[in-house]
Amino acid sequence: MTFKKIRFVTDSTCDLPQNLLDQHNIRVVPCYINHGENSYPDDGKALSREDFYRQLPSMRPSPTTAAPSPGDTKAAIEAAFAEADHVIVMTVATKLSGTLNAMRLGAADLPPDRVTLLDSESVTMGLGWPVLIGAETAAATGSVEETLAVMERVKQNTHVYAALETLEFLRRSGRVGWAAAGIGALLQIKPILHVFGGEVHQAGRVRTFTRAVDELIHFCQTHAPIDRLAILHATNLQGAMDLQNRLADLAPSDTIIVSITPTIGTHIGPGGLGLVPVSKSWRTG
């Protein structure tokens, strides 16, 4: 088998920490936040996450999000292609965003047998984990086929759970149809979301955020033993650290805490917490 140099391109909703992106030379194409007449790339530079979340509740009209431009995707994919035998592109779920289509347009001029485009069917670290573990596999094996097989297994064993302070931001975004139904009765309820298979489901609803966090832990436990774990927060670092402490017996030693990108934060609002476990089942197929 010929060892191939494989490079990865993803979008900014992946939430992978910069040190891991740098370590594996993963290119990230920014999505965009639109507010008023301004459009900001979600690249960690144009927008301060702290300022964005602080201002978000009072922003009128509410900000919107947009997929990367084909120009942005073309530049990133062609740069990766220039130093690789094969490029793997994985994006946020196509049911939630047009990002994969933007990537497809960006790769249109390249040989199709040397570029693979994948739908993560997820968001945040539900996208980040398959990309990262795929990059680790590619570096170790140089096999496109084995890397793609691993990414698929990781995807099928990765779940995203999030506890929100309110459904209001999800309702405003219009991305999830059920969020607008019966909203008056739900605004004071703390919803628990589950993202899997490209769909955002309501896994539960409770009356206090403390109870919502308890439910997050319960759902995470159902995927034990856990191979990887990300703890997510939207300007709630203390809550994330408390959650990590409560998961001490379950969480791997390399568990990471991630501040959710504004592209996702626009739809869920400030204060939320989340867990993205990868079950060890992926290793056995």
Q: What DSSP string describes 210-222? A: HHHHHHHHHHHHT
Sorting pLDDT into bands at 50, 70 and 90, what band is 187? Answer: low
Q: What is the pLDDT of residue 184?
A: 46
Q: What is the pLDDT of residue 139?
A: 97
Instruction: Give the whole-number percent of the chain exceeding pLDDT 70.
Output: 93
Q: Which amino acid is at 217?
A: I
Q: Which amino acid is at 137?
A: T
Q: Which two tokens stand for residue 106?
A: 């960006």
How, if at all, do strands 86-91 and 6-11 pair? parallel
User: Is residue 120 exposed (0-12), middle (13-18) or buried (19+ Cβ within 10 Å)?
Assistant: buried
Q: What is the CA radius of gyration of the chain?
A: 18
- What average pLDDT does the chain have? 90
User: Does pLDDT of 260 surpass 60?
Assistant: yes
Model confidence pLDDT, tens digit, residues 43-61: 888 777 778 888 888 888 8
- Among 62, 70, 93, 61, residue whose Cα is nearest residue 262: 62
The CATH code that applies to domain 6-31+67-156 is: 3.40.50.10170
Question: Between 121 and 183, where is the model more confident?
Answer: 121
User: Is residue 61 exposed (0-12), middle (13-18) or buried (19+ Cβ within 10 Å)?
Assistant: exposed
Distance CA 92, CA 120 (A): 6
Q: Is 252 helix (H, G, I), strand (E, B) or coil?
A: coil
**Angle ∠(163,167,172) on CA atoms, nearest 5:** 135
Sorting pLDDT into bands at 50, 70 and 90, what band is 181? Answer: very low
- Answer whether the bond into residue 57 is a cis peptide, omega within 30°: no
User: Does pLDDT of 133 surpass 50?
Assistant: yes
* Residue 34 CB coordination number (10 Å): 14
Q: Which amino acid is at 161?
A: Y
* Residue 169 CB coordination number (10 Å): 22
Q: Where are the beta strands (DSSP E) in 83-233?
A: 86-91, 115-119, 160-163, 190-196, 199-206, 226-233
**Interval 164-170 mean pLDDT:** 77
The CATH code that applies to domain 160-284 is: 3.30.1180.10
User: Is residue 105 exposed (0-12), middle (13-18) or buried (19+ Cβ within 10 Å)?
Assistant: middle
Q: What is the pLDDT of residue 186?
A: 54
Distance CA 163, CA 247 (A): 16
Model confidence pLDDT, tens digit, residues 13-34: 999 999 999 999 999 999 999 8
Q: Which residues, including other chains, have CB under 8 Å from residue 48's CB and lie 6 or more apart?
A: none
Q: Which two tokens stand for residue 102?
A: 């933007």
SS3 per residue for 23-37:
HCCCEEECCEEEECC
The sheet carrying 64-66 orders its strands as: 38-41, 32-35, 64-66
Distance of CA 170 to the CA centre of its chain: 16
Q: Where are the domains of the chain?
A: 6-31+67-156, 160-284
What is the pTM (predicted TM-score) of this model? Answer: 0.93
